[in-house]
Chains A and B, each alone.
Chain A
Amino acid sequence: MHELPQTLANGLLLGSMYGLIAIGYTMVYGIVQLINFAHGEVFMTGGFGALTAFLMLPSGVSLWLALPVMLLAAVLVSTSVAVLAERLAYRPLRGSSRLAPLITAIGLSIAIQQMVWAWYPDAKQARTFPHLPGGPYELGPVTVQTGDVFLVVAAVLSMLALMWFVRSTRTGRAMQATAQDPDTSRLMGINTDRIIVTAFAIGAAFAALAAVAHGLRYGQVDFRMGFITGLKAFTAAVLGGIGSIQGAMLGGLALGLAEALAAGYVKFLPGLELFGGGAWANVWAFVLLIVVLLIRPQGLFSKLTADRA
């Protein structure tokens, strides 16, 4: 059991990534009750945006200098994809049945994947993503890479910034109002179309951060990476109570921990010896989703009505 601290650390790192992506699902759902299943692809395109920026920089440039440029490119690409999706695909469907945007989202998701596969140079296989120099660092019983440090710092800072934004700015207040009652928000003078785009854009920026962290951690980007990771992040949003910003982060951490623990320890449970290990981690993540949907559909951390974004 000496690897427990490392397992927990891995779970939290994975969970931070899920949490960052889950923000996008939860903010959009909170405001327009739409599950943007193309959000996984928004995440994926951010990874390719960062890679493109890296490849355009002169070779041999310090990664510490490249990182801000890569982040900026990732955010630009992800927010552009999300904003375009909202304008061209979702907005025309607003007010229609719930099913239409859902099917559109799935179609959009496949289209974006295929576009990257077809048009991004050599994207038919995974492409190598740069590694941050330095590390690994020994923190007591836990070993972490430089990219992991980046992930944790980015997740904490961006979450704090988002919570401040929603609570303390005019646009944040307008977002809360729109989430609670869109028509009445319009009567207050709030341009709810703009608020909806803002929610898509913020969610995309968080997904872009996660994409860079994902690339740094796994050393590659792949046109398929948005699918499973997106589905997991959606699971995280549901675990945390979809619509709640803090819930998304907590849900992400809970899912990451559950997944890491399941991969590490399920094999020791009598009768489940065959179902441990990394290969089964996805299965356990979705088992958790189904269990939560059955017994606590409002999410693990939600009080159903209180503290929604």
Chain B
Amino acid sequence: MTALLEVEDLRVSYGKIEAVKGISFRVDEGQVVTLIGTNGAGKTTTLRTLSGLLKPTGGRISFDGHPLAGVPAHKIVALGLAHSPEGRHIFPRLTITENLQLGAFLRNDKEGIARDIQRAYDLFPILGERRKQAAGTLSGGEQQMLAMGRALMSRPKLLMLDEPSMGLSPIMMQKIMETIAELRSTGTTILLVEQNAQAALSLADRGHVMEIGKVVLSGTGPDLLHDESVRKAYLGED
């Protein structure tokens, strides 16, 4: 297995406050890796740093052979790293189709883009039905589908999803998790941040548990699912 993404001793601060305090992990090609952890553990900060929205204060990031630290966000997408941000962040006053087209902003193969938009509609039929509608009028779950579809439009080597199930009904959540499983089966490499530890760990090849800026526990998905402390802290069992 070759490492697609390798993070070593990554540190990120907001002013004087260090939110990520030296974490290391890797994502191999074809894997689903999940970061779980309590609120404020630094998961979102980690993803935002990987995609270039935040600058690390220390450590190394290597993606597909390129060092990423200090590379601006718009150039990182070009390398094949897509980020579906926490809270969805669809473009509310653009249509669904326009949102998807923006996901392919750096591509110029018109036919390929059209095919991939169709693929997104096949994956999420509701998006196809509403294609001319302003994205801000979609429900939360539909917006999540759009955000995920949009991230896939760049044909990423690595897809980063930040809490794709946040605020969704159990049915919607089920649907999103099925989609992630489907993407995984087609060989998409995924870095998944989730509050729903049960769902995330059931899907993941590997998982890392974060607490106040550090990785405190790592293992395979099944290992962590059965770990005593994880069950207590994240799966609501005692």
Which residues of A line the B interface, CB within 8 A? 170, 173-174, 176-177, 180-181, 183-192, 305-308
Contact = CB atoms under 8 A, between A and B. Distances in A.
Q: Top 3 nearest A-B pairs by Cβ distance?
A: A186-B73, A189-B106, A189-B77
Contacts of A308: 93
A299 B77 CA distance: 37
B124 interface: no
A187 B103 CA distance: 8
Interface in B64-95: 72-74, 77-78, 82-83, 85, 89, 91-94
A72 to B, nearest CB: 31
Contact of A189 (B85, B89, B105): B105
B102 interface: yes
Contacts of B52: 186
Contacts of B89: 181, 183-184
B133 to A, nearest CB: 13
Nearest to B53: A183
Contacts of A177: 91, 94, 102
B73 A173 contact: no
Interface residues of B, number: 25
B51 interface: yes
B92 to A, nearest CB: 6
B93 A305 contact: yes
Interface in B96-125: 98, 101-103, 105-106
Given A180-B93, A305-B93, A306-B93, A173 B102 contact: yes
B154 interface: yes
- Mostly, the A contact residues are helix
Interface in B186-202: none
A176 B90 CA distance: 12
Nearest to A191: B74
Residue from A170, A184, A191, A308 having most chain B Cβ neighbours under 10 A: A184
A305 B94 CA distance: 12
A132 B234 CA distance: 77
Nearest to A174: B105
A187 B94 contact: no
Given A186-B74, A190-B74, A176 B101 contact: no
19 contacts: A170-B105, A173-B101, A173-B102, A174-B102, A176-B93, A180-B92, A180-B93, A181-B91, A183-B73, A183-B89, A184-B85, A184-B89, A186-B74, A188-B105, A188-B106, A188-B154, A189-B106, A191-B72, A191-B74
Contacts of A183: 53, 73, 85, 89
A186 B101 contact: no
A40 B98 CA distance: 35
Contacts of B150: 188
Nearest to A180: B91
A230 to B, nearest CB: 28
B103 A176 contact: no
B114 to A, nearest CB: 16
Residue from B52, B72, B74, B101 having most chain A Cβ neighbours under 10 A: B74
A187 B93 contact: no
Given A183-B53, A184-B85, A189 B74 contact: yes
Given A188-B77, A188-B103, A176 B94 contact: yes
A131 B72 CA distance: 50
A186 B85 CA distance: 12
Contacts of A191: 72, 74
